[in-house]
């Protein structure tokens, strides 16, 4: 999905910008960039981070950057931030999210005589497209509204002018955007996808930007609401299950606490006999801790993650690279594994290939007696329309199971969404056999929503049910 970070300071902001952007590294592995506005005007730098971590690529850049305002971004879609000279003056822009109808919007602008200079993988740069649409508005705010109305998907935007930073959350609030204020200097402001970046930089959460809301952060420390939040919010539930960082807070709800509640819910509905519970590092750990506290089983670590060199295995675009990362990042502890029955909590099963080949296999190879997998969400049925985390419907473990059971693809999968149906049970059993574990039991969607702690009609549950803007009762 990507992450964005903006900062306004009464001194050179480059250090805060560098480290604040780096706190979004778990959200992307392809592109990163920073831009500042200072005594010499706008200055930006962009690098690929596919072969190196953000800090190593930008450590020399930030040392020469000088400005009291800055934007940073990490994403897998388009190189950014970009700087434009427009009818509104010069501005820098960064964005996080996905424009699903990007080529349609591009063609419309081309027919109007508008040209594009930036290309990424043969396609229009999403941020340049966003800037061109915004520039058609009567003002920056009007342009952002036009962008929100026209795009299919989701996009959170930061725009830095000479006066301050505009921040806009996507129309349905699918992804987060939070404002922080300096603890020592109240005039200093930050805005970011990840509020977990604030404390270590000397900021505290001021507010959570609402769905479709547009605000302006000034150099004087003022926060002005330019366009009120929209009444419908559909925040991505997967933020609390997997995507978000454990220390983050989205819309007032702690990620780690939500994961502990998910794990506790799994345990309350589980009768399995086991010697201990563990989490697949790192995103399964919070769920496992909740399971352990609820069940009374000891929490142990049969697998540990080698954190210095490896990030999240789902983010690289190549399956070969994802497999390599998954293989190398986890180390098994045989003394913990051998001869034991274990409950293994994971955030989800997407494709199932990494769980099967690089987690479960290591447990069996090191003498596990029984392996009971407990994902903290229902089976994933649809690729995300609003981020690039899941690429293809054909890759999803649940869809492969349905295809096998039905002898091919089917349109109506409603029976497989019902945990009480025979088809659902057959699907789960097929996945269990495929990943080669003793038992498999998913958390159902109602319990997951309850654990997150946000009303169901304020959550996006598309990847589980394929429907938008509908209540659970209609699934």
Q: What is the pLDDT of residues 114-135, one digit of tens each?
A: 988 877 667 889 999 999 999 9
Q: How confident is the model at residue 387 (pLDDT cuts 50, 70, 90)?
A: confident
> Given this model, what pLDDT does residue 322 score?
56
Nearest to 242 by CA among 447, 27, 23, 76: 27
Nearest to 54 by CA among 82, 31, 87: 31
**Six-digit token pair at 28?**
């992307």
- DSSP state, 299? B
Contacts of 42 (CB under 8 A, 6+ apart): 35, 36, 83, 90, 92
> Given this model, what pLDDT does residue 68 score?
97
Tokens 């009609």 label which residue? 457
Longest dimension (CA), the chain: 70
Helices (H), 330-453: 334-337, 353-354, 361-365, 397-406, 414-417, 422-435, 445-452
Topology of the domain covering 3-231: 3.60.20
Bridge partners (DSSP) of residue 86 are: 89
Nearest to 45 by CA among 72, 13, 23: 72
- pLDDT more than 70, % of the chain: 92
Q: What distance in Å separates the CA atoms of residue 132 and residue 280, rounded to the nearest whole number?
A: 43
Q: If you average pLDDT over residues 347-374, what whole number do you get?
A: 95
Helices (H), 13-95: 14-22, 54-64
Residue 312 has pLDDT above 80, yes or no: no
Class (C level, CATH) for 240-474: alpha beta
Contacts of 281 (CB under 8 A, 6+ apart): 301, 303, 304, 305, 330
Q: What is the pLDDT of residues 148-199, one digit of tens each?
A: 999 998 999 999 999 999 999 999 999 999 999 999 999 999 999 999 999 9
**Six-digit token pair at 439?**
């038992």
> Given this model, what pLDDT does residue 171 score?
93
Domain boundaries, the chain: 3-231, 240-474
Nearest to 95 by CA among 105, 76, 84, 80: 80
Bridge partners (DSSP) of residue 123 are: 120
What is the rounded end-to-end Cα distance, in angstroms, of the chain? 26
Q: Are 14 and 66 in contact (CB under 8 A)?
A: yes
Bridge partners (DSSP) of residue 434 are: none
**Six-digit token pair at 121?**
């993988």
> Given this model, what pLDDT does residue 206 score?
97
Q: What are the backbone dihedrals phi and psi of residue 167, each rounded to the nearest 5 degrees, phi first?
A: -130, 130
Q: What distance in Å separates the CA atoms of residue 302 and residue 376, rounded to the nearest whole number?
A: 19
Q: Are 350 and 314 in contact (CB under 8 A)?
A: yes
Tokens 């919007």 label which residue? 105
**89-99 and 82-86 beta bridge pairing:** antiparallel
The whole-chain average pLDDT of the chain stands at: 92
Give the rounded distance of the alpha carbon of 209 from its chain centre.
Answer: 17
Q: What is the pLDDT of residues 204-234, one digit of tens each?
A: 999 999 999 999 999 999 999 999 999 999 9
Q: What is the pLDDT of residues 226-282, one digit of tens each?
A: 999 999 999 999 999 999 999 999 999 999 999 999 999 999 999 999 999 999 998
Contacts of 394 (CB under 8 A, 6+ apart): 400
> Given this model, what pLDDT does residue 305 score?
86
């Amino acid at each position: 999905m990507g992450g964005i970070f903006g900062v306004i300071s009464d001194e050179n902001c480059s250090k805060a910008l560098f480290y604040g952007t780096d706190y979004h590294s778990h959200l992307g592995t392809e592109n990163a960039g920073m831009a500042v506005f200072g005594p010499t005007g706008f200055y930006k730098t962009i690098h690929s981070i596919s072969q190196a971590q953000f800090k190593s690529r930008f450590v020399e850049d930030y040392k020469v950057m000088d400005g009291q305002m800055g934007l940073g971004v990490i994403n897998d879609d388009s190189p950014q931030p970009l700087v434009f000279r427009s009818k509104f003056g010069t501005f820098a822009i960064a964005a996080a999210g996905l424009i699903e109808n990007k080529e349609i919007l591009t063609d419309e602008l081309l027919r109007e005589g508008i040209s594009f200079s930036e290309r990424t993988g043969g396609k229009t740069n999403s941020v340049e497209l966003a800037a061109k649409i915004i520039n058609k508005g009567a003002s920056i705010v009007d342009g952002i509204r036009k962008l929100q109305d026209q795009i299919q998907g989701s996009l959170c935007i930061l725009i830095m002018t000479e006066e301050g930073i505009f921040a806009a959350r996507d129309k349905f609030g699918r992804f987060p955007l939070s404002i922080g204020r300096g603890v020592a200097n109240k005039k200093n402001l930050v805005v970011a996808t990840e509020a977990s970046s604030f404390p270590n930089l000397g900021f505290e959460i001021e507010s959570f930007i609402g769905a479709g809301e547009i605000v302006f952060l000034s150099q004087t420390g003022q926060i002005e609401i330019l366009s009120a939040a929209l009444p419908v919010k559909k925040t991505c539930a997967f933020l609390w299950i997997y995507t978000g960082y454990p220390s983050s807070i989205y819309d007032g709800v702690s990620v780690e606490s939500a994961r502990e509640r998910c794990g506790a819910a799994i345990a309350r509905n589980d009768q399995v006999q086991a010697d201990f519970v563990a989490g697949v590092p790192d995103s399964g750990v919070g769920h496992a801790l909740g399971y352990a506290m609820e069940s009374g089983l000891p929490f142990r670590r049969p697998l540990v993650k080698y954190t210095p060199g490896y990030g999240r295995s789902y983010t690289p675009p190549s399956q070969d690279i994802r497999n390599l990362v998954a293989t190398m990042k986890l180390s098994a502890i045989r003394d913990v594994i051998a001869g034991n029955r274990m409950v293994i909590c994971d955030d989800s099963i997407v494709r199932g290939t990494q769980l099967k080949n690089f987690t479960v296999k290591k447990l069996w190879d090191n003498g596990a007696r029984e392996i009971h997998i407990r994902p903290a969400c229902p089976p994933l049925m649809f690729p995300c329309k609003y981020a690039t985390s899941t690429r293809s419907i054909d890759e999803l473990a649940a869809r492969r199971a349905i295809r096998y059971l039905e002898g091919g693809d089917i349109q109506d999968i409603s029976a497989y969404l019902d945990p009480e149906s025979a088809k659902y049970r057959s699907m789960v059993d097929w996945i269990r056999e495929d990943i080669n574990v003793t038992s498999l039991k998913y958390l159902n969607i109602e319990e997951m929503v309850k654990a997150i702690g946000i009303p169901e009609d304020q959550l996006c549950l598309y990847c589980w049910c394929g429907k938008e803007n509908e209540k659970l009762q209609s699934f």
